[in-house]
Chain A
Amino acid sequence: MQMDLVFVGWNHRVASLDLREKLSFTPERAREAMEGLFREKILTEGAVVSTCNRAEIYGLTDLDDSFEALASYFSRFHDVDGSVLRESALSGRGDVTVRHLFRVASGLDSMVLGEAQILGQIRDAHRRATEAGTARTVTHRLFQAALECGKKVRTRTALGTRPTSVPGIALSLVGRIFEEVADCRVLLLGAGETVELTARLLADDGVTRMSFCNRTQEKAAALAAEFGGTVVPWEERIPAFAAADVVLTATGATDPVIPGPEAKRALSKARRRGPLLVLDMAVPRDVDPAVEDVADVYRYDLDAFGELARANAAERQAEVPLAEAIVEESVEKFAAWLASLSMTEVVKQLRFKLEAIRRDELARSEPRLARLDPADREMVERLTEALLNKILHNPTVGLKHGDASQRLELAAAVRTLFKLDGEGRE
């Protein structure tokens, strides 16, 4: 029986958003899917990774053509045309599976190279599989190794350190200018999705002094209530602008809502210390570029964000070879562990260990054995060999029983019980 680690998946590279929507798993659906796969003896253990950009199933199988079985199963499970699934699927066996998951965990397979959320999503997938009881020895080890690999890539390379999204860049800029982001006074102009999303990120970073200002005051009040901020009437936006540390604007206005001369006057009047960071995310721009004539005013608009995003993406790309090398090193380590659980290897090492014990004991008794005549000595040899073979018989047969996961679990148990640490390796 050829047991192997396999995966099949549909990600942002190969499947359209429409297809990914159809193939996505809620935690309950993931559990149902795994139970079905066990029932139909396609997999013996495994886990589902389902995010906006991917639906992937990893597991251990005894089947030679697991891809066909998995594709056919998911066609029925999701009620999607099987040929579409087969054409757009990514799949692999053995090291290919391990490498794919490790690359996913490292952010190398993400839509935004090096994005950090995927590590948390892999951790969630592992936790859910553990709770559902679908993850066993190999899946546990696979996902733990994937998480380790992802963390290693994150700490040893700069792959994930450069933000590429507009809110991410905005937050990084706040961090470049202010010592304590949480102490910043932030004014948010507008009440759309961008303002809400950035307010959420700022709140996550501990910012509590947020003021919301919008032409329709009710919308600003709703956001202020959600984030524990205050409301600034639209007419008072200029003095509020001059009093803030960070101003984020994303209104739909056609003319600057912060005109240059008025803003400059307000800034010169305001008794303020320290810089003012203006994050203008509106098109057309909300803040007159002339405000940056004032010392300590730093103004960023969407063009500047775009430039930074491109520069950061290029920096991330430069880190890919180093990240790939870390992935490869982790794949080799995992492959070595998995190979050590192969039945042939375990039996070979067990025999080597017991044979070494037999020889040691014979050598220890050599002074007394030397007194025996050759025929008796030969009989002692044969006797100890026969004992060894009888002891080995049951484990050797036992390691062939059960499904792929059970066999690997038994192999792992034998390795632990007999302390087989590379015995008899060539």
Chain B
Amino acid sequence: MASPSSPGLTNALLGVLALAAYALASVFYTAYLRHPRLKAGRLATGLAVLGAALNFSFLYARSLALKNVPYADLLGSMALFGFFLAGMNLVLEVRHHDRSLGPFLMPVSLLFLLLAFVLPAGGEKRPNLKGAIFAFHVTLNMLSYAAFAVAAALSGLYLVLGKKLKHRSKNVLAGPTARLPSLGYLERAARTSLGVGVVTLAAGLSMGFAWGYHVWRVDHPFWLLDAKIWGAGLTLLFYFVVLVRAHRGAAPVTTARLCIAGFVLVLLSYTAVNLFFSRIHSFT
């Protein structure tokens, strides 16, 4: 199950336990949305906290074993993404006393942590993937991707609820739909996540430029032409335009659709570009 590059059995065990906690949290969050019984809700939250703690421990143990940041490869970065997403779900839950995002965010955390284990791992080790600037670069970028994932999930819910309201669905005031937050909340929270994502991505990319200039300028004089850098830059530009439009009063439905499209761009930039197009910037 654990990738060959993942050191240690304890570490793999922590990852598997985190997976199990995320899976169970997803089940209980969904059960709570269908039938809001307090016990199921508390169990879901408890399991999400446990999953996030195990996920963090997994990353920490990995870091100790690698004597480096734990997210210098695809496995680590995906596990970090899963951790940030679970954390954001918990922050939103505590802030708004609302568990309705859990059924949508926890499975994404689960998926990314699972992908971290099943995707092929490279063998080549890159010596320069360390240092404070590199750590900030990856952390901030992962945080921004998690924020964009949250914005996409909130936007998806906005579109679903909006469609039901638009078509005067009989269950807008009953069942799980009635337990979703209001359109107003979904729109505002998506915009906030978008803002957080844009700021952290801008900061993360700045750090990346500083690190790239320091590490690559001699060996890779054309490092700025790398597909991954262009992909990330375009993602930032896209989200920046969406954010400005949203603040200028663009129709929330359009913003919601763009948030979902933007997250597809993030996934492409993160996976396909990383794995297949980037020459100097791919995860190993």
Contacts and interface: CB of A to CB of B under 8 A. Distances in A.
B251 A296 contact: yes
B221 interface: no
A179 B173 contact: no
B253 A296 contact: yes
Given A162-B173, A173-B173, A312-B173, A304 B168 contact: yes
Contact of A274 (B168, B175, B181, B252): B252
Contacts of B166: 292, 298
A326 to B, nearest CB: 15
B173 A163 contact: yes
A175 interface: yes
A42 to B, nearest CB: 46
A176 interface: yes
A149 B253 CA distance: 44
Interface string B166-183: 101011111100100111
Given A177-B183, A307-B168, A315 B251 contact: no
A160 to B, nearest CB: 13
B167 to A, nearest CB: 10
Interface residues of A, number: 29
Contacts of A180: 184
Contact of A178 (B161, B173, B175, B183): B183
Given A271-B249, A272-B249, A274-B252, A169 B184 contact: no
Most buried by B among A178, A273, A310, A312: A273
A311 B184 contact: no
B257 to A, nearest CB: 10
Contact of B173 (A172, A273, A275, A295): A172
Nearest to B164: A176
B171 A179 contact: no
B103 to A, nearest CB: 18
A308 interface: yes
Nearest to B249: A273
Given A273-B252, A274-B252, A295-B253, A176 B173 contact: yes
Contact of B183 (A163, A176, A304, A311): A176
A169 B165 contact: no
A38 interface: no
Contacts of B253: 295-296
B73 interface: no
Contact of A179 (B165, B170, B184, B254): B184
Q: Which of A161, A179, A180, A292 has the most CB of B within 10 A?
A: A179
Contacts, number: 69
A308 B250 CA distance: 30
Contact of A315 (B162, B174, B181, B254): B174
Nearest to A155: B38
Interface residues of B, number: 24
Interface in B210-239: none
A308 B161 CA distance: 15
A274 B165 CA distance: 14
Interface in A158-204: 161-163, 169, 172-173, 175-180
A16 to B, nearest CB: 33
B174 A311 contact: yes
A178 B185 CA distance: 7
B182 A295 contact: no
B244 to A, nearest CB: 13
Contacts of A179: 181-182, 184-185, 188
A75 to B, nearest CB: 45
Interface in B31-78: none
A296 B183 CA distance: 10
B171 A311 contact: yes
A300 interface: yes
A262 B231 CA distance: 44
A282 B170 CA distance: 20
B172 A275 contact: no
A310 B173 CA distance: 12
B182 A176 contact: yes
B212 to A, nearest CB: 39
A304 B169 CA distance: 9
A162 B181 CA distance: 16
Interface string A334-367: 0000000000000000000000000000000000
A269 to B, nearest CB: 12
Most chain A beta carbons < 10 A, residue from B166, B175, B183, B184: B184
A183 to B, nearest CB: 9
Given A295-B253, A296-B252, A308 B183 contact: no
Contacts of A307: 168, 170
Given A274-B184, A275-B183, A295 B174 contact: no
B193 to A, nearest CB: 15
Nearest to B185: A179
Contacts of A312: 173-174
B184 A177 contact: yes
A129 to B, nearest CB: 35
A312 B165 CA distance: 15
B97 to A, nearest CB: 13
A350 to B, nearest CB: 42
Contacts of B254: 295
A281 to B, nearest CB: 14
Contacts of B174: 162, 311-312, 315
30 contacts: A161-B178, A162-B173, A169-B173, A173-B173, A176-B165, A176-B173, A176-B178, A176-B182, A178-B184, A179-B182, A179-B185, A274-B187, A275-B162, A275-B183, A275-B184, A295-B251, A295-B253, A295-B254, A296-B162, A296-B252, A296-B253, A298-B165, A298-B166, A307-B168, A311-B170, A311-B171, A311-B173, A311-B174, A315-B174, A315-B175
Given A177-B184, A179-B185, 4 more contacts: A178-B182, A179-B184, A273-B252, A312-B173
User: Which 6 pairs, one residue from A and one from B, show the smallest C-beta to C-beta distance?
Assistant: A179-B184, A311-B170, A273-B249, A304-B168, A179-B185, A178-B184
